[in-house]
Structure 1
Amino acid sequence: MSRNTHLVLGATGKTGRRIAARLRLRGTPVRAASRSSRARFDWSDPGTWDAVLQDVVVAYVVPPPVPGPVHQFVVRAEAAGVRRLVLLSGRGADGWGDSAFGLEMLSAEEAVRGSSLEWTVLRASNFAQNFDEDAFHAPLIAGELALPAGAVPEPFIDVEDVADAAVAVLTERRRHAGRVYELSGPRALTFAEAVELISRTSGRPLTYRQITRVEYVSTLVEQGLSEREADQIAEMFVLMGSGLIAETTDDLATVLGRTPRTFEEYVVRAAAAGAWHER
């Protein structure tokens, strides 16, 4: 493996697999690492860390689900000769205050930004792909998405844009050092508006229903999450309802020199691929 290796953690996830593919297409030496990859990496098993850091010049880091491990990972990265870190985080993290949401991302930012390495932080809005690759998908297949989100909109960002931005930051040395980019889509939509666009494009009668936080937590617990995990996820909707992350930004254009993909472009692409067909 080249000594110019680009390490991509979370390589089977929404951003990681897209970033690794883009880097390979460019001819960039890539080590794609995850719990299920040939290059095995597990945040809960520090014994897997050193091997994936060997000969790495820059690493793309997706935080683990708990606060803490990124601090030790950064120490290992420094010792291994890594020069740069690119961290995925959440929109408006500086303004989250004492919220229970995103503690793992805040911890990771503290570790990366406090290190001796060059670093860049990509703070992304909620992914559009959550509607077809993640938690919102199964309810839509069943015909209704119910969440504790009301009239405050969210500038959903296309994961393809996040991957493009990450590759630019990973491969353009120094230009992005010490920068925090707040990445959003080009306009904000309420969840009701987003579901209406999905319904129209897919040709299915899909609905959105606003529920209370208590109802949402109860639903998540019924699906197998712990009360603590459910509370943390529900707290995200409290932050969204405050309007803290409702505004769009120009940071994607700063990184890529173009406007973000629209939610409509995402919906057309996903519907054409059969994302919301009944099963």
Structure 2
Amino acid sequence: MTGATGAVGGRVARRLARTGVPVRLLGRDPDRLPDLPGADHAPAARYGDAQAMRRALDGAHTLFLVSAHESPYRVREHTTAVDAAVAVGVERIVYVSFQGAAPDATFTFARDHWDTEAHIRTAEVRHTFLRDNWYLAGLPAMAGTDGVLRGPGGDGRVAAVAHEDIADAAAAVLLDEGTDHDDRVYDLTGPEAFTLAEAADELSRVTGRPVVYVPETREEAYASRAGYGAEDWEVAGWVTSYEAIANGELSAVSDAVPALTGHPAKSFAQFLVENPDSYRHLLAGG
């Protein structure tokens, strides 16, 4: 289990621990890993450190590989981790990817996921790819305290998904020791696709204050993000994530969440009801 200190990996780790299956948690800093019943902590390892990854993965049957933090070196880190897993005899990799992963994806980070998937496919290992859509939690977070959600998303639709649903789906795949999930790609989405303007309307309804979506051109998007001091590759990822919505690359709704978990995927409205902290900054700024 990688990513156990994060929003997806932590949820998956807790679900697996509750079942009693042997779980090994892997992280760069073992002191930050959660203490879960029946779970042990692997020696510290970074994806890009081949020897450390081999030590951490030695004896494991399945690797749940949560994608590394975005960086110019992410694909290299992923491939190093995959090669280490194969070298020590890991038999299966379940990789957290992104919907629309392709070599020519609009969203630049989705290209990294495609390259990682391609490397896993060439390895002699069983594999499953979980391609997440945008996170529902990201939508209120992208609205500023001024009540404005801005970006070059046009009138495109996004089938955003809840972390909880991703975790349920991932746990279902990991706990199935059969071969039904081998060589499968699952798009994990919410139950509907909606525009960013509709997301702003829903935020307005829930918070009781005006929240609006302001579409930007590409030039306006780069200009409005110039003050963050981020590197060019990171800003490009931010901007192109919106452009992927505008181009319709995140609009497809999948039935993978209900098919894998046995329950419907959460809607944006349901997510907001269950997670008031996600929009508390909008209440403070209203």
TM-score range, shorter chain: 0.7 to 0.9
Deviations 1:90-147 (A, max 9, x none): 1122474586442321121012222111100011111101135xx52xx433422211
Alpha-carbon offset, residue 157 of structure 1: 0.8
* Cα distance in 1, alignment partners of residues 99 and 258 from structure 2: 16
Q: How does 1:83-232 map to 2 (within 5 A)?
A: 83-94=91-102, 96-97=104-105, 100-131=108-139, 136=142, 139-173=143-177, 174-232=179-237
2:45 to 31, 36, 41: 41
Report sequence identity in percent: 28
Structure 1: segments with no counterpart, 5+ residues: 1-7
| Counterparts of 1:267 and 1:152, CA distance in 2 | 21
Deviation of 1:80 after TM superposition, in Å, equals 1.5
Select the residue among 21, 27, 34 that pairs with 1:28: 21
Deviations 1:22-70 (A, max 9, x none): 1112222222223343343323444431232122111111223322222
Q: Does 1:258 align with 2:251?
A: no
Matched, 1:10 2:3: yes
By how many angstroms is 1:170 displaced? 0.8
Change (3 A) 1:30 1:220: farther
RMSD: 2.3
Displacement over 6 Å in runs of 4+: none
Residues 1:78 and 2:100 aligned together: no
Q: TM-score scaled by structure 1?
A: 0.87
Q: Which moved more, 1:59-68 or 1:41-50?
A: 41-50
How big is the shift at 1:232? 2.9
Aligned pair count? Answer: 268
TM-score by length of 2: 0.85
Q: Provide the C-alpha distance between the structure 2 equivalents of 1:146 and 1:41, rounded to a whole number of angstroms.
A: 38
Q: Give the 3 Å change call, closer, same or farther, for CA 37–258 of structure 1 in structure 2.
A: same
Structure 2 partner of 1:19 = 12
SS where residue 190 of structure 2 aligns?
coil
Bigger shift: residues 260-269 or 202-211: 202-211
